[in-house]
A and B are shown apart, each in its own frame.
Chain A
């Protein structure tokens, strides 16, 4: 391009960049949250909200959000992962409007005065590779495997192979629930493989014949084998009846009484339509029963 045009373009770009920076820094800030709360009386829902947290809840949030946005075009529901603990941090710090958690809140977290909304119940399936001969374990055996006291499948009735232990990361709600329900105060063996989502754990179980891991019951399909614990099969009915003991709630949390777009979304999720989606995606609805 000609010299004149080049210089004009350059100055324009420089100006544009500076403008952009200043506009953005002034213009954003609390704008996301303001959108969410400013609905009030208008029948037209618009604006955007962010849900952040548990990776177990994320696939549900994704589908629920998709349906919600179809119902109310002009709205935007953004779904982030990061883990249950990050969900709590995000909502407390204001980075997210709704936090997604896949375990009961701890005492110190409850102290933050968060509003909780149970969107579903989910069993935690103890899964192994379909080729694994073992089909059930007692809670004691399960705990010992995760403590590192049992290291070979032959010790629990399987073939002679070293157990590949799979764990979740520290901030995971699934791990938190598992630890509370199975491990108690004791620590999981440190040689366990650690993956940062339910999906990643499932991938290892699918491909490693000797792997064992805990995953959201909602995603347990025919590619993995869910073990019976204490003789009880991991199924939705058994979770509801309480016979299958390893389960946890999926909770949406907010820092204050929800209004506007946040309230609309939560209402949708807890409605029959929303709960039907929850069940369809594999979790358990306490509302629809």
Chain B
């Protein structure tokens, strides 16, 4: 039949497209692994960069990345989860405030990272005089990941069965008690998944970070210190041709970190599904 022949071709095409995508992904990761593995060593991970990154390792950038991500999560998670709770549990979702919030969250999510970088630079670094620092970077990143955390928290909270609430109130418990003891724990896996995904985003962010946390190579001790994250370090090493091998090494470490974060997120997601 004519259609059978055509359909066979279409099937092949579809599978081919999936194959292309897998090839792209494996190609990129594979290339970086092959080129970067020779640089990876215990020293690379534990020694700081020296001579502007030409020599040495990337320890300070690893610490900076983790530090910055943690700070941004510390700021965004309470706010995001709080917002989600407010919307879902205090019935504000369907009011005008709720609608405004939904719109602003979606808009925040779509703004390009460079605009965040500009804003962070002008507002935190200069206007609030926080300078290039983990704090400026953390605040900027926190705003960037806030919509994601709010949305995933909302979904997780909605998924908690109504009976939890009705039973709890029937027993005379207050709203906050119910939230604290029943709803949050039940929604935790979903919320955690959102947090992990946002962490992944924070790790990879560069445009906003370079303008707010700076590109200084020192070890950040307090939140007022500037910090160069791995993503920024990769950018500088690559663009300035300082050390291609170390650039590959940095890229490899970043990819390993992302894969690990993805793995954690998947574990967490499976926990949600099991509920």
Contact = CB atoms under 8 A, between A and B. Distances in A.
A198 B241 CA distance: 9
A94 interface: yes
Interface stretch (A15-23, A100-108, A121-129, A254-262): A15-23
Given A6-B184, A20-B74, A195 B239 contact: yes
Contact of B241 (A62, A81, A202): A202
Contacts of B82: 14
Interface in B104-142: 125-126, 128-133, 135
Interface in B148-193: 180-181, 184-185, 188
Interface stretch (B1-9, B21-29, B196-204, B215-223): B215-223
B241 A206 contact: yes
Nearest to B180: A7
Given A24-B135, A50-B131, A95-B131, A13 B215 contact: no
A37 interface: no
A222 B219 CA distance: 33
Interface stretch (A27-35, A146-154, A156-164, A264-272): A27-35
Contacts of B242: 199
B31 to A, nearest CB: 17
B75 A17 contact: yes
A95 B242 CA distance: 27
Given A29-B129, A80-B215, A48 B184 contact: no
Interface in A197-225: 197-200, 202-203, 206
Dominant secondary structure of chain A at its interface with chain B: helix
A14 B51 CA distance: 41
A25 interface: yes
A263 B6 CA distance: 79
Contacts of A192: none
A10 B74 contact: no
- Please classify how large the interface on chain B is, using the bins under 10, 10 to 19, 20 to 34, 35 or more: 35 or more
A36 to B, nearest CB: 12
A16 B74 CA distance: 8
Contacts of A3: 181, 185
Q: Which of B129, B214, B239, B241 lies at the interface centre, i.e. has the most chain A CB atoms within 10 A of its CB?
A: B241
B47 interface: no
A57 B131 CA distance: 21
A78 B188 CA distance: 40
A31 B215 contact: no
Interface in B52-91: 52, 71, 74-75, 77-79, 82
Interface string A31-60: 110000000000000001010000100110
A20 B75 CA distance: 9
A7 B215 CA distance: 38
Interface of B: 50-52, 71, 74-75, 77-79, 82, 125-126, 128-133, 135, 180-181, 184-185, 188, 214-218, 223-226, 236, 239-242
4 residue pairs, one from A and one from B, having the closest CB atoms: A199-B240, A203-B241, A78-B216, A62-B52
10 contacts: A17-B79, A27-B224, A28-B130, A32-B131, A62-B217, A63-B51, A78-B226, A81-B215, A203-B239, A203-B241
